[in-house]
Structure formats: C-alpha cells, structure tokens
Structure 1
Amino acid sequence: MTLHRRNVLAGIGGVASLTTAGCLSGALGESSQETTLWNQFTGSEQDSLETHLETFNEGRDDTMVSENLSDVKKQLKTAIPAGNGPHTFPWAHDRIGKYQSQDFLYDGSDDLELDLEGTFTDNAASAVQWEGGVYGLPYASETVSLMYNPDLVDEPPETLSEMVSIMEDHHDPENSSWGLSCPPKTAYFVSAFLHAFGGRIYDEESRELGIETDEFIRGIELLQDSIWPYVADDTTYNGQMPPFADGNAPFAINGPWQLGSFRDSGVDATVAPLPDVDGGSPTPYTGVQTWYFTAQLNGASEASFDTTLEWAEWYTTDEDVITGNARNHGLIPVHTDHVESDELGDDVPMFAETVDMGTPMPADPRMDTVWTPFENALERVFNDQSEADEAMKSAADEIRSRWE
C-alpha cells in the first residue's frame, strides 16, 4: 500500500514546536524536528507501543517520538490551538466530531491512497470519517462485555434472568460479597441495558435525544431491577474493581483494558458475551480505537507529515501489531484480513460477539453536552431521588437548552 503525499506543504522550512508545559523538553534533546505522538497507555499497552515504535523507527531518518501523558484530552485543549500539539494520538472515534468542530484535526482524505472501505470493516471505516473528511485510521474496536470468575460460576449465563439468580446467591454485602462489579451510573458501562428495548441516548442520524422515550425508560427500569441492586456502595470506577479482583463477586462488566489487572490480581477472569434480555436485546456502545491526524500536520515539515501518515498506515495494517494487540490486550481487529483470524487468542472472539450486538458511540459534537446532565439524572434515579421519567425529562430540558 502507498500513500500519496502532498508535494508542497504550507509552512515548509519551519519546524513544528513540540513542547508543551515542559512535557517534551529533555525527551527530544537538541533536536526539535522529530515527529511526535501522545498517548496515555499504561502497563503492558505502553510496553507494546514502545516495542512497535522501535520496529517502525528502525532505519528511518525521521523517527516517531512517543510522549506518555496522564491526561491527553486536557493537554490537547491548550496545545493544539497554540501549535504545540502532537501530530497524532490514539483515542476512541467518538471525539472526532467535537475535535473537528474545534479545528483540532487534519483531513487526510486527499493524502491517503489506502482503500479505507476495502481495508477495514464498515463500522471502522465510517467511524474515522466526519462530514466528508477522514481524520485518522482505525486499529481496533472494543466494548464492555461480561466477565465471570470460573471459581464461582461453572458456566456463563445465557440470559439476564440466569445472571440475576447467580448474583442473588452471591450478594451478601455484610460479609463483603457482591453480585457484580460494574460502574453503575456510567453510561458506557450500562448502555447495553439502557438500549435493550430499542431506546437510544442519542440518535446520530436525526440528531435528537432519546432519553425520554418509553423504550429508554424501560431500559432504566431494567437497570433498577437487574443490575443496580448487586453492585457495591462505592459506585466509582475504582470502587467497583475490588469486588471482582478480590474474588468476592461472580461477575464484572468491563472492557479489555481491565482484563490484565483482574488476572494479575489472581482471578481467572473469563470473557463471555452479554446475556440475552427477555423481550429485548443488549446493545452496548462500541468504540473504534483510532490514530487521529491532528491540525499540527497543517504546518508540519514534509518529513513529519509523511512519518505521521506512514505510522498510522503501518500500525493499522501490520499483522504483528494487529495480532499482538488482540492476544495481549483483547483488542478486536478491524482490518478485514484479520477479523476472523485464528491467531487472536481466546478473549477476542468473545468481545467480538458483544461488539456485533452493539452500536457505535455517537461522534456528533452535540454529545459533549449530553453526558453530564444525563449521568447526573441517572445517579438521581439510582439513589431513589427521582423517578426515571422525571429525571430524564429534566436532563433532556437541560441538554436542549445548552444546544440552543
């Protein structure tokens, strides 16, 4: 595969500044011409990235330099407008609409000869596009799914009612035992149940909220009856991890990023598809992990421009990268040549089955004003401070007023 590069770049001769709040000084030494990526990977994912960078950079005159930050989104807000941002960074696709509206991104559609639709799955190819532009390349899909502890559960439940029965048997908070580990008020983690009867938080095609519909309220009631009663009192993400990690809960609902930590704690966390819902179908949000092209490319040197696009193309099409990410991190391939590979390990087929149930997270910039009011309303219902229909109407009014 080849990439068609622009022959004349605006601002050639200049070198993009790569320092922000002192993050990059020292890392680049005397040179300021390296192409850079930002990431906030941790643990084994960071180790894998460094290995891939070594392979990619071997023999190159212009190398890709990685900077690991604790909060990439926060840094991007100030660095990109100031011209001090990275050339690329990895993130789920749902920020594309927001960042494109803020002029944070570069449209690579005229520079890529890569056949986007022919190389990647339909969902992945569409996820990196927004309003006719191509703002990155996809490298994996992911979602949350069911995990179970085989020391406590012989076989994963096929239905939610079976799962509830097992959770009932284990849920005994007074003796430090719970039925489930799951951040219960975070939309992404419980979206499968919220969407189970056809309701949606947001319809990207009509650009309308769906949280007031009867179908969506039924999803909240499903949470009230079948999920919320079985979680620990500490509903934060970090507070929900110990019950399963310590062997005190039979189930968790989480994503591939958490598998390694669970297993390192001594639990043989086993992935299974989400269970069937009586009268509905679990429909979780799914994400497409993407190497974003940033606005830093607009004034980049030709070398940095080429290196960025070549890195994205190589990373998203290299067999060793794709299969390694699958086996080591549970990341589901989106390259059509590897979707059904038998070299992906045991976890990926299970996550892939759940992805097939799901719906992509909306990338519309309107979503930026949806999450907080909606999750605040969900918390009020969880805490029995409001009925579901009242809470959703109040949240919807607040969200629409922000849109105006």
Structure 2
Amino acid sequence: MTLHRRNALKGIGGITTLTVAGCLGGLLGGGDQGTMLWTQFEAGEENSLEEHLGTFNEGRDDEMNAENISEMESQLETALPASNGPHTFAWAHDWIGQYHEQDFVYDAADDIGVDLESTFTEAAAQAVQWDGAVHGLPYAAETVSLMYNPDLVDGPPETLSEMVEVMEDHYDPDNNQYGLSVPAIETYFVSAFLNAFGGTVFDEENGELGIEDDAFIEGIELLESSIWPYVAEDPSPESQIPTFSEGNAPYAINGPWQISSFRDAGVDATVAPLPDIDGGEPSPYTGVQTWYFTTQLESADDTALETTLEWAEWYTTTEDVILSNAQDHGLIPVHQEYTQSDELGDDVEAFAQTVEMGVPLPTDPKIGDVWTPVKDGLQRVFNGQSSADESMATAAEEIRSRWD
C-alpha cells in the first residue's frame, strides 16, 4: 500500500473516460484500447488534459487515449501484471522505487529523446530515475500548502499561534462552522506538522522507521493541540473538502490539484505559505509529478512506444502545457527554462515557497508498507483511542512484521 495523496481527494465517483480520442474499451481490458494513459485528476486538471490531448493528437494516426480513474494504485496493481494497464500514467515520483522492484515500470533510458540533466531541475531529473533506469519524465513539483478564504479572513497567518486564534474564532460545529479543512489523518496532508521538529516517517539513509522517535511524536502532539481541535469530526476528505468549498472554514490545507475545484465552487481560495511553528519549522512532503512508463511498453508495438514517448516528451517540454499547469493549477515547473518565469502566477509563487520548506517523499521500496499503518495510527490518536506513543509503537510493530 502506498501513500494516498490524490486518492484521498478523489474519494467520490468511479471511472471517467476522456473521449477526446473516441470511444475507449473497458478499463481493465476487453479489447484493444490503443495507446493509453491513466490519470486521477480533479475536474479542472482533467479539463486541461483534454485540451492538451486534443492538441497532441491533431493529425496523428495513433492517438493517445485517456482514462481518468479512481483508486489508481489498486487499478494499476491489478492491471499491469495482467498486461491490461496503461502505457503511461501520471503520479508523483514516490512510487518509483517500489514499482521498479515490482517490475511495473519500463526503463526508457535508451529511448527518450530529451536529456534529463540539461532539461529539468536536478531534483526532478533524479526523481524519475532508480538504479540507473529512467522510469518516466517529470512535469511539475507540488506539495500541500495553506489556503484561505478572503471573504472570512483578511489574509494568511504568519504563525501557527495566530492561525489557532482565528480557527478558534470560527469554530462552531453546532452551526457547521470550522476553523480548518484538511484530510486530518492523511500523512501527506499533515506532514508539515509531523516533520516540524525534525521527525520523519522513514529515514532513507539508514532504511529505518522514524515514527517512534521523540521528534515525530512531538509532531503528532502538535496536531493534537493545534490542528485537530478545529476540524470537522469526520477526518475523511469527503467531509473535509466541502467544509472549505462551501465557505464553512477560513483555512484549508491542500494541494494545487484542488484549487480550481474550490474556485469553481465559489470560494476565492488564496494560496499562502504554511505558517511558522514555534520551536520548529513546517516541513511538508514534496512530490515531482511524473509521466511513468509502464511495463505495458515491453510488449507494445513500435507505434505505441513511439506515441507514449512523444506524449511524455511533448507534455513535459511544451510551453503552453507548462504555463497552463502553472497558471491554472498552481503546478511548479521543473523545466529549467521556466522555473524563473514571470508568467507563472501567484499560486505557483506561494506553492514554491512551501516546496522550499519541504522534503521529498521517500522512494525506498520499503515505504509502501509504511503509509497505511501510520494513517491507522493517526486515526487512533485522532479518535482518542490511544496516545501518540502507544499508537506509533503499534504501527511500527505492524510495519516491521510486513518487512520480515
């Protein structure tokens, strides 16, 4: 099981097919689907993808087809071993190590037509490689950050203490009013607090867990005292996201993929850096959005391989795509020619400040066994079933049993 980031947001609804290339086959096979990509995008990003696909496919004999699905992880783990999966899919870089070990990804080192090191930022170029293999091309950096509703507050808080005061003023659960909207037990969304005192879920340098360390426990206790008291009783995304989109909370912590949905709902979601933390520093997990190359390419014909590579290269290097992702969705460019562009917009500037605070998501294959026990542990603490110490000890025992 891997870290649920957009899975946590998608939550509602099933499979949606983008029809820019005509009628597609069933999700997991049942006929030739042609060259295929999968995404798990929110509505705004999905609409942009449809436009980009229309441009890319114009005049092509082999068009790139697309499916927007829920539960990307479980679908891939079913489809790829059965040779019914996509040729490429979009996700953050944190699956690279695990999928390399599982033989889910294709090594395109000898096939790609772009030089990673001279085209992309150093962090992005490294993010798509594992053990000498190139398993995708990067197109954006992202993390979660603070958003505020300017109809409810004048501006963002500079410190967490200031933010708590505002949340207290707005918290009135009897009238469906809360201080904050955040998927409260999803590790990725609250990582800025969990990591605030130098803690970490997993130490990649020595391959050891960090969830029992004092610094990590202190981060959970910060959540207990300063964040969780002001959110809706249900910590799930299905409950938390409407809290902000319906104007019932001054603040949200979420990622760039959610901006357009908030704004389409009528909330002028304004992005800001995360506030300072007394005695620590907000340190959220950061990701590099990637077009992965799957092992579906190993048995694909030359046409499908060529289309997949050309799509990834076109998407990650085309100015209109890069600027659209930045201006419309707050995605931070990782193409070297655009990282300092003055056309990126305020959203990107704010998210970029938060990315500077953060640390990359772990990519070690062992991390796949970590996320669910940690989330379950946070759930126990959130519900008052056990202390942070006790809950993380239980989670650590489960994780190590999986590793043995």
TM-score, structure 1 normalization = 0.90
Question: Matches of 2:111 and 2:232 in 1, distance apart?
Answer: 50
- The alignment status of 1:363 with 2:402, answered yes or no, reads no
Question: Matches of 2:179 and 2:201 in 1, distance apart?
Answer: 26
SS at match of 2:82: coil
- The alignment status of 1:136 with 2:136, answered yes or no, reads yes
Q: Using a 3 Å threshold, how does the CA distance of structure 1 residues 369 and 394 change in structure 2: closer, same or farther? A: same
Query: Equivalent residue for 2:176?
Result: 176
Preserved CA contact (<8 Å) 1:20 1:85: no
Query: Equivalent residue for 2:339?
Result: 339
Query: Equivalent residue for 1:5?
Result: none
Amino acid corresponding to residue 284 of structure 1 in structure 2: P
Question: Matches of 2:168 and 2:279 in 1, distance apart?
Answer: 22
Question: Matches of 1:219 and 1:378 in 2, distance apart?
Answer: 11
Q: Using a 3 Å threshold, how does the CA distance of structure 1 residues 40 and 184 change in structure 2: closer, same or farther? A: closer
- The alignment status of 1:72 with 2:56, answered yes or no, reads no
- The alignment status of 1:61 with 2:65, answered yes or no, reads no
Matches for 1:272-311 after TM superposition, within 5 Å: 272-311=272-311
Q: Using a 3 Å threshold, how does the CA distance of structure 1 residues 175 and 95 change in structure 2: closer, same or farther? A: same
**Aligned-pair distance for 1:352?**
1.0
Give CA deviations for 1:104-134 in whole Å, capped at 9, x if unaligned: 1101112234221221112211111112211
Question: Matches of 2:43 and 2:330 in 1, distance apart?
Answer: 14
Question: Matches of 1:139 and 1:171 in 2, distance apart?
Answer: 39
Query: Equivalent residue for 2:213?
Result: 213
Matches for 1:142-291 after TM superposition, within 5 Å: 142-291=142-291
Preserved CA contact (<8 Å) 2:194 2:219: yes
RMSD of equivalent CA atoms:
1.7
Question: Matches of 2:68 and 2:162 in 1, distance apart?
Answer: 43
Question: Matches of 2:372 and 2:171 in 1, distance apart?
Answer: 30
Preserved CA contact (<8 Å) 2:97 2:363: yes
- The alignment status of 1:120 with 2:120, answered yes or no, reads yes
Question: Matches of 1:208 and 1:140 in 2, distance apart?
Answer: 29
**Aligned-pair distance for 1:245?**
1.7
**Aligned-pair distance for 1:19?**
5.8
Question: Matches of 2:363 and 2:41 in 1, distance apart?
Answer: 22
**Aligned-pair distance for 1:161?**
0.8
The ranges of structure 1 where at least 4 consecutive aligned residues each deviate by more than 6 angstroms after the TM superposition are none
Preserved CA contact (<8 Å) 1:150 1:268: yes
Stretches of structure 1 that go unaligned for 5 or more consecutive residues are: 1-17, 26-31
Preserved CA contact (<8 Å) 1:93 1:288: yes
TM-score, structure 2 normalization = 0.90
Preserved CA contact (<8 Å) 2:137 2:292: yes
- The alignment status of 1:393 with 2:386, answered yes or no, reads no
Question: Matches of 2:73 and 2:391 in 1, distance apart?
Answer: 29
**Identity between Structure 1 and Structure 2 (%):** 66
Give CA deviations for 1:258-312 in whole Å, capped at 9, x if unaligned: 1122212222111100001111110001111110011111122122212111111
Q: Which stretch has the larger CA shift, 215-224 or 191-200?
A: 215-224
Query: Equivalent residue for 1:3?
Result: none
Matches for 1:364-383 after TM superposition, within 5 Å: 364-383=364-383
Give CA deviations for 1:214-268 in whole Å, capped at 9, x if unaligned: 1111111111111011101111101012222222211111111211222122221
SS at match of 1:343: coil
Query: Equivalent residue for 1:12?
Result: none
Q: Using a 3 Å threshold, how does the CA distance of structure 1 residues 47 and 175 change in structure 2: closer, same or farther? A: closer
Preserved CA contact (<8 Å) 1:20 1:79: no
Question: Matches of 2:261 and 2:348 in 1, distance apart?
Answer: 17
Amino acid corresponding to residue 168 of structure 1 in structure 2: E
Question: Matches of 1:175 and 1:337 in 2, distance apart?
Answer: 49
Larger Rg: 1
Preserved CA contact (<8 Å) 2:146 2:272: yes
SS at match of 2:37: strand
Preserved CA contact (<8 Å) 2:182 2:240: yes
Stretches of structure 2 that go unaligned for 5 or more consecutive residues are: 1-23
Amino acid corresponding to residue 54 of structure 1 in structure 2: G
Query: Equivalent residue for 1:330?
Result: 330
Q: Using a 3 Å threshold, how does the CA distance of structure 1 residues 103 and 173 change in structure 2: closer, same or farther? A: same
Question: Matches of 1:162 and 1:206 in 2, distance apart?
Answer: 37
Give CA deviations for 1:326-385 in whole Å, capped at 9, x if unaligned: 111111111111112111122111011111111111122211211111111111111222
Preserved CA contact (<8 Å) 1:20 1:84: no
Amino acid corresponding to residue 131 of structure 2 in structure 1: E
Question: Matches of 1:59 and 1:265 in 2, distance apart?
Answer: 36
SS at match of 2:392: helix
Amino acid corresponding to residue 133 of structure 2 in structure 1: G
Q: Which stretch has the larger CA shift, 188-197 or 46-55?
A: 46-55
**Aligned-pair distance for 1:156?**
0.7
**Aligned-pair distance for 1:207?**
1.2
